Structure 1
Amino acid sequence: MADDQSRRTPADAPLLLDVMLGKLATYLRMCGYDAAYALDRGIEADDALADLADSEGRLLVTRDSELASRAGGLLIKSLDVTDQLHELANAGFALELSDPARCAECNAALVAVAAGAETPEYAPDTDEFRVWRCPDCGQHFWKGSHWESVEETLSEL
């Protein structure tokens, strides 16, 4: 990895998560992290992951100890996502929810939907809830019951 990447703190590093960490990527995105996921990029091979992390200046987060060592990445040992979150918290990651900032599906930066604007049938009325939209995949997000469940999980870390 380049020298500037090795000096980054978890709080400011864009991330690349390997194929074993898809659920963790969703949690990190909900916490506002730029958390690219290998399968979203169609990449599974270790060398390709290491090269992508290096070329995009991302911290590689992986469950593969050899890959973490070789690529200067962060090794996650746990299988359970709550335990993985504990590992990240212990590594200095701030794991708190704020307003939605990243798409949980594709990692793009979200944009606020104006009050009174139409939303898809699955999304709430913008006069009742703040709603955000992903400009890349079109998904809509709001702080609903899933948000509360994630907030509860994070509060127990």
Structure 2
Amino acid sequence: MFVRFYLEEGLEKLARWLRFLGHEAYLIKGPVSFKSVKPDGVFITTSRRWYERLKKAGLECFLVPRHEFKLQLRAVVKHYGLKGELSLERCAFCSSRLEPLTGEELKRLVPPAALKEATDFRRCPSCGAVFWKGSHYERMKKKLREMLNGLD
């Protein structure tokens, strides 16, 4: 299931991990207002007051615990039935859809050691960040399994 998320400032880590799972996740910078909450997705907040106001206005929103990242991620994954699998679809920094990186660009942008270790390279067309499934990818998969353990 694909869900587009809008998150209040302060939930950067949750936004990044939702992007790792392949979902659009955008941070709302500055104070939350009705103008900043988009009707085409889910607004995630730690504020009960904003949660109740947005629900009353008919907007889709979800309340997460204030300080527990692991509980935040578990709650969102469970509530929205998200696949708990890493994906190389979205930029971890800006949420744009990643594009395959090949040819000369690949040689120019990827460190030689990474070229030896991985085969699937992606680049963000918006911010230029480059991603690949290196040794860090396996560590991230392990961490994700640990965080989501027991949700099935």
TM-score, normalised with respect to structure 2:
0.79
Deviations 1:49-106 (A, max 9, x none): x323235x12101111111121231000141221211211331331423440000011
Matched, 1:59 2:45: no
Structure 1: unaligned runs, 5 residues or longer: 1-10
The correspondence for 1:100, drawn from 83, 88, 108, is 88
CA contact (8 A) 1:35 1:107 kept: yes
Q: Normalising by structure 1, report the TM-score.
A: 0.77
**Aligned-partner SS, 1:104:** coil
Aligned mates of 1:120, 1:54 — CA distance in 2: 35
Q: Distance in 1 between matches of 2:91 and 2:32?
A: 25
Match of 1:26 among 2, 11, 16: 16
| Alpha-carbon separation, structure 2, partners of 1:15 and 1:135 | 20
Give the root-mean-square deviation of aligned CA atoms: 2.3
Q: Which residue of 1 aligns with 2:31?
A: 45
Alignment match, 1:87: 75
Query: Are the structure 2 counterparts of residues 121 and 87 from structure 1 closer, same or farther at C-alpha, using a change threshold of 3 Å?
Result: same
SS at match of 1:53: coil
Equivalent in the alignment of 1:118:
107
Q: Is the 8 A contact 2:117 2:134 kept in 1?
A: no
User: 3-state SS of the aligned residue for 1:61?
Assistant: strand
User: Cα gap change, 1:84/1:149 in structure 2, threshold over 3 Å: closer, same or farther?
Assistant: farther
Relative to 1, partners in 2 of residues 1:115 and 1:93: Cα closer, same or farther, differing over 3 Å? Answer: farther
Aligned to 1:5: none
Aligned length: 140
SS at match of 2:35: helix
CA distance 1:133–1:46, change in 2 (3 Å): same
| Per-residue Cα deviation, 1:122-156 (whole angstroms, up to 9, x for no partner) | 47228842100000000000112332232112213
Give the Cα separation in 1 of the matches to 2:110 and 2:134.
15
Contact 2:77 2:84 in 1 (8 A): no
Match status 1:68 vs 2:58: no
* Residue 65 (structure 2) aligned to one of 70, 77, 86: 77
On the 8 A contact 2:98/2:125 being kept in 1, the answer is yes
Which of the residues 136, 142, 152 maps onto 2:126? 136
